[in-house]
Chain A
Amino acid sequence: MTLASISEKVNAGIPLSFDDGLTLFREPDLLKLGGLANQAREQLHCDRTTFNRNLHINPTNLCVAGCQLCSFSRRSPDQPGAYTLGLSQAWDKLKARLDSGDPVTEVHVVGGLNDSLPFDYYLELVAGLKRLQPTLHIKAFSAVEIVHFHHHFQREVGEVLRRLRAAGLDSLPGGGAEIFAPRVRQRICPNKCDAEEWLDVHRTAHQMGLRSNCTMLYGTIETIEERVEHLLRLRALQDETGGFQAFIPLAFHPDNNALSHLPAPSAVDDLRVCAVARLVLHNIPHIKAYWVSLGIKTAQTALWFGADDLDGTVQEEKIYHLAGSDAPQALAPMEIVRLIRAAGRTPVERDTLYRVVAEGEALQARTCASPTGGPR
Chain B
Amino acid sequence: MSTGVAVTSQETDLFDLGRAAEAATRAATGGRGFFSCWRRLLPSGLWQGPASAASASVDEADLADLGGLAAAATAGANTFIATSLPMLTEATGRGLRGLLRLFLSAEEPVEQRERRLLALAQQVREGLVLDGVVPTPEDDCMGLATLMLVARCRLALVGGPHVLVDLDRVGPKLGQLALGFGADELCGPIVETRALRLGDNAGSRAITRAEAAQLLRGAGLRAFERMAGGSLEEFAP
Contacts and interface: CB of A to CB of B under 8 A. Distances in A.
A339 B142 CA distance: 8
A267 B106 contact: no
Contacts of A32: 15
Contacts of B197: 254-256, 260, 324
Interface in B164-221: 170-174, 176-177, 180, 196-199, 202-203, 211, 215, 218-220
Given A326-B171, A344-B6, A304 B144 contact: yes
Contacts of A329: none
Interface string A331-354: 000110111011110000000000
B8 A267 contact: no
A256 B198 contact: yes
A370 interface: no
A341 B106 CA distance: 11
Interface of B is mostly: helix
Nearest to A327: B140
A344 B7 contact: yes
A266 B15 contact: no
Contact of B143 (A255, A301, A328, A341): A301
Interface residues of B, number: 43
A268 interface: yes
B5 A338 contact: no
Interface in B73-109: 106
Interface in A294-350: 294-301, 303-304, 324, 326, 328, 334-335, 337-339, 341-344
A6 B193 CA distance: 42
B55 interface: no
Contact of B15 (A31, A47, A297, A298): A31
Contacts of B144: 297, 300-301, 303-304, 342-344
Interface of A is mostly: helix
- Greatest chain A CB density within 10 A among B18, B199, B211 is at B18
Contacts of B22: 31
Contacts of B8: 47, 344
Given A35-B15, A255-B202, A341-B2, A268 B171 contact: no
B14 interface: yes
A210 interface: no
Given A47-B8, A343-B7, A344-B6, A267 B140 contact: no
Nearest to B220: A28
A301 B147 contact: yes
Given A338-B141, A342-B106, A30 B7 contact: no
A145 interface: no
A40 to B, nearest CB: 14
Nearest to B7: A344
B64 interface: no
Contacts of B5: 342-344
A266 B218 contact: yes
Nearest to A323: B202
A271 interface: yes
Nearest to B211: A263
A47 B196 CA distance: 40
B15 A38 contact: yes
Contact of B19 (A31, A263, A337): A31
A34 interface: yes
Given A271-B177, A295-B171, A300 B203 contact: no
Nearest to A331: B140
A298 B199 contact: no
B173 A267 contact: yes
A355 to B, nearest CB: 25
Nearest to A265: B173
Given A35-B15, A267-B172, 6 more contacts: A255-B203, A256-B199, A267-B176, A298-B173, A298-B177, A301-B144
11 contacts: A31-B19, A266-B176, A267-B173, A297-B170, A297-B174, A301-B177, A304-B7, A304-B144, A326-B203, A341-B1, A343-B7
Give the top 3 A-B pairs by smallest Cβ distance, nearest first. Answer: A297-B143, A344-B8, A267-B173
